[in-house]
Amino acid sequence: MSSNRPRPVADLHSEPYWEALGRKILLVQACASCSRRIHPSAPCCSKCLSVELEWVEVGGEGVVVSYCVVAQPLVSGIAAPYVVLCVSLLDAPDVHLIANVAANSVSGVAVGARVHVVFDLIDDDFVLANFELVANAA
Amino acid sequence: MKSTQDVGGTAIIGFGATDVTRQPTEAIGQYAVRAVKAALETAGIDKDEVDGYVGAPGLASYSTNHWDGADEVSAEYMLSALGLKPRWSADTSGLVLGMVAAARGALLTGMCQYVVGVRALYYRSGSVYSSVSSSAIGGSEQFTMPYGFGPGGARHAQWLARYNSVNGATREDLFAIVKAAHTHARLNPRAYWKHSTLTLDEYLESRWVVEPLCLYDCDIPVTGAAAFVMTTTEAAKALGVPFATVTSMSNGYHPRGALDDAGLVASDIQVCQLYDGFASFPYFWYEALGFCPDGTAHRFIQDGTIELGGTIPTNTFGGSLGEGRLHGIGHLHEAYLQVTDQAGARQVPNVEHGVVQVGAPDRSWIAVVSRGN
């Protein structure tokens, strides 16, 4: 079954990200010069301006920086209400990922909550990186 | 100090604005033209004297078609409509203060003498204002829109959720901004909410758009236009019309840049026009501009502080929340009216300097607008 949800159109910067995500692997860019982690994909490191960026796999553990609940059906193919998280990754705190909460469960979602990645197959090879709450996390 | 005194100054010598409505009976071009004619009239400037034009047609909404003359007006469109062939013209990004910044540059380098600036917005009741129906999303939104993150101020809702969580702020706190907007709108005959009787209970019971932003936390989409005329301070003095000096400007990345360049601090400002596309935005600026310590804006705004008669009356025309979504030209218009003593029933006494800020907290311009003399 195909989803009407907006599908990402990969470009020359982002292609490796989506290709890996399709295989349920989370990649971000890393600056070869200062090792800063970068996402979304960028033309250079905004700190040292190095254009030598590599793709590295990151762990899926994170912290909720913030969240919101979209209450109206504003985007085609996505039923409201739904939660959108902003997640900072534990092994790449500069990286903030926008994601939905797995199973659209709002219970327990809070600023500072611990989460880990869940790869949700939307259809065919279309995978999104979502997050679920880590139970009993400190 | 890199202020206007070093290079001569610029001034706003006229302003015109149309009615705002959600049931337009004219095309956007007619609104824009009416605003320009009114602006030229208050400035006492003839059309043939206009040798500069600046606009900012973009950034209307996710569901805008971007059809020139139908839902937005480009410089090309306006110059053709007005029969103008100016020495300088530009469409800018950065909403209305980006226009003012560009006009200052054009005036102070002598490229032109009289600049007309136009901002027009179009909305017709019945259409969904901020929605996305694309099945394919490229560019930076490829990382956000597949998650349904974009329209309805989702980015700003997340900012507010974090602010509330970190600082212990509540919806009741935020209502002070909405209440001030609606209270001031009642003194503005052009305001969409001029007859508002909004209560705290009605506010708390209104539907969510993107939680924690509710219906009344979002500005109201309207059709309307406003236009200004700018020239050099020297020329403004010679004309003998009331004028507002654009004393200093800075990008929002340097929140206190405009105040610093003018040699001012927050307590030197008598009135503020802070962009309120969403009610949460002013929190950021009360703190960043130095009106209150970080993390305390939600307390600072209580007890009438930001209403007429308070310490720092803000959005005295109702803001975008009360007047309608004119993307900041309403804010600049009110700053001009306040420093030229033309604000009528909502005039703040003895205004020397007003602050105008336009844009979201992470992409803004700030100006100090002062009494012309």
Q: How far is CA B68 from CA B34, B59, B74, B121, B151, in A?
A: 17, 13, 6, 12, 22
Cβ-based interface (< 8 Å): residues of A facing B: 4-11, 14, 39-40, 65-78, 81-82, 84, 86, 97-100, 110-112, 122, 128, 130
| Residues of chain A contacting B139 with CB distance shorter than 8 Å | 11
Answer yes or no: do B211 and A99 touch at CB < 8 A: no
Local structure of residue A50 (DSSP, 8 states): -
Predicted confidence (pLDDT) per residue in B321-354, tens digit: 999 999 999 999 999 999 999 999 999 999 999 9
Sort out which chain A residues have CB atoms less than 8 A from B166's CB and list them. Answer: 111
- CA separation for the pair B306, B313 (Å, rounded): 4
pTM, two decimal places: 0.95
How far is the C-alpha of B353 from the C-alpha of A49, rounded, in Å? 40
Could you say which residues of chain A have pLDDT below 70? 1-2, 136-138
Residue A114: count of CB within 10 angstroms of its CB: 16
| Chain B residues touching residue A95 (CB < 8 angstroms) | none
- Which tens digits make up the pLDDT trace of B311-324? 999 999 999 999 99
DSSP B28-70: HHHHHHHHHHHHHHHHT--GGG--EEEE------TT----BTT
Tokens 């982690």 -> residue: A37
With CB atoms and an 8 Å threshold, state whether A111 touches B157: no
The domains located in chain B, with CATH, are 4-127+221-247 (3.40.47.10), 146-218+249-368 (3.40.47.10)
Q: A80: nearest CA in chain B?
A: B148
- pLDDT tens for B165-179 read 999 999 999 999 999
To the nearest whole angstrom, how far is the Cα of A119 from the nearest Cα of chain B? 13
**CATH 1.10.3470, domain A59-138, yes or no:** no
In this structure, are residues A127 and A24 in contact, taking their beta carbons and an 8 Å threshold?
yes
Closest to B191 measured CA to CA, from B322, B102, B76, B307: B322
Strands B224-232 and B115-121: antiparallel
pLDDT of residue B65: 74
Q: Which of B158, B167, B208 to mutate to test the interface with A (most CBs of A within 10 A)?
A: B158
Dump pLDDT digits (tens) for B43-79: 999 999 999 999 998 766 666 777 888 888 999 999 9
Residue B237 has pLDDT above 70, yes or no: yes
Q: Which of A23, A98, A86, A6 is nearest to A57 (CA)?
A: A23
Domains of chain A: which residue ranges? 10-57, 59-138
∠ CA A7-A9-A13, nearest 5°, is 140
CB contact under 8 A, B158 and A5: no
State residue A138's pLDDT score: 46
Task: Report CB contact under 8 Å: B138, A4.
Answer: no
Q: Please give the ipTM for the structure prediction.
A: 0.95
Using a CB-CB cut-off of 8 Å, the residues of chain B touching A87 are none
pLDDT at B66: 79
Identify residue B298 by its one-letter amino acid code: H
Taking residues B157-163, report their average pLDDT.
98
Question: By CA distance, what is B144's nearest residue in A?
Answer: A98
